Structure 1
Amino acid sequence: MSRSDAGSRADSAPSGVDTSVPHSARIYDWWLGGKDNFAVDRATGAAMLEAIPTLRMMAAENRRLVHRIARYLVAEAGIRQFLDIGTGIPTRPNLHEIAQAIAPETRVVYVDNDPIVLAHARALMMSHPAGRSEYVHADLRDPERILAEVTRRGTLDLGQPVALTLIAILMLLGEADDPIGRVRALTDALPSGSYLAITHPTPDFNPEAVAAAVAAATANGVTLVARTRAEVERFFDGWELVDPGIVPVPAWRPDGAPPVDPEAVYYWSGVARKR
């Protein structure tokens, strides 16, 4: 089966999934070679690939960065709790598997709003017995509900440091969604010693190609906002950036030399600590 045919065996969908509307999690799944996507997702993903043929590589680099961030936060920063919003369709190893391989007692709460991700929630909750892993079906636009669910379930102790990971998700919030305010509502609830990790697409390296990809997404009903380095930096206001600061995704603490030219991945990345 070719990559372009992935997911097309019957395009059957779980209850609640609208296969006439593309979803970012399923587009990413298609780019990564997954099968949990539908014709509308593949069409949108292909239109964006026409603008930026290396988008599959960029998606893979984002996933690799999740692993590096998890290893840093657990092994070096001592973090034992993660709140991962915009989880996407599970791709092994998942964040909790990386973290619990180092510290089995680590606890992770995943959050996403796609019913397909909900259908795969069992894979996200296969925790090491010493730790815990949960899935919350919710939207980043409703941080109060996310925090209420986290508190109700008791998976995370918000009195202890938490790593909030927002990987390739803030791009889905337009300015009318108040992305700064949504992030602030979450970070204000976290104690000193917590961490915030973000990746975000940017026009800074190739404005024309990124503008074309944004236009393709928008034409297919997907909100996609690319932000400059200065705009991404605002999400970290009041927090202390961890070295090397805000850098292209492959340049954030690479394992050896970056496998690709960092500026060939049109995403900024950064990790910061709450004072």
Structure 2
Amino acid sequence: MCAKILAIANQKGGVGKTTTSVNLGCALSRLDKKVLLLDLDPHACATLHARIYPEEVQYSLHDLFLAPEENWSTLWPLLLRTQALHGMDVAPGCIRLSELEVDFKDRSGKGSVLSRSLRAVSSDYDFIILDCPPHVGILLVNALVAADLLIIPIQTDFLALHGLKLLFDTLHTLNKALGRPILYRALPTMYDRRAKACTRVLELMQRKMEHAMFNTIIGIDTNFREASAQGCSIYDINQNSRGARCYEALAQEVLCLW
């Protein structure tokens, strides 16, 4: 059985992509699912979250993208960090991923490199989570082509809604090229129920997106910041916290999709 691939993406930064990638992955791992997290963001925030530092990275996803197809199966074991983050394997990113637009200039089939390379490890996992960069480019295209489900974290803030149009334009283009719709679900994040503005944005999202939105709402929790500072998941800080329970609920919703 092949892993289900979840791309966590939004073309606006600071909406909780890495927080969702890390904590959803850990929540699934706690449900006895085998999970692999790929850090496709050149800023490598998920890599740092797993306490994997640039000077320690001999092989990263940048090497995988540049490698000939016949080398993929031997390269995967070299770059994977097993059990790096609360029972979850991690494939580290690096700043050189930002050079991929130039590196891929003359490469054929460049939008499906990730999808094809994942076949070498897909049977080893139940879920593969892709922490995507906050801009349109070859990395995001590769992630969306590979994905079984696109999860769009949306901060419950009016300014955050404006970034969605760019992402949906990209989806529309890819849907035509792939000949199949990319399944997606929106995830409200950073919700503060005390703030009327957050409540209005949430109500607007629920009206506009209806069934294309998770029921789970990720609220503000200082434990997320503490987990990031300590290089761990929220479950290592407080497994009974509000934030931890939110990602447990999200994991259950994800499981119900298949």
Scaled to the shorter chain, the TM-score interval is 0.3 to 0.5
| Larger RCO of the pair (alpha carbons < 8 Å, separation 6+) | 2
User: Where is the helix percentage greater, Structure 1 or Structure 2?
Assistant: 2
Q: TM-score, normalised by structure 1?
A: 0.36
Q: TM-score, normalised by structure 2?
A: 0.37
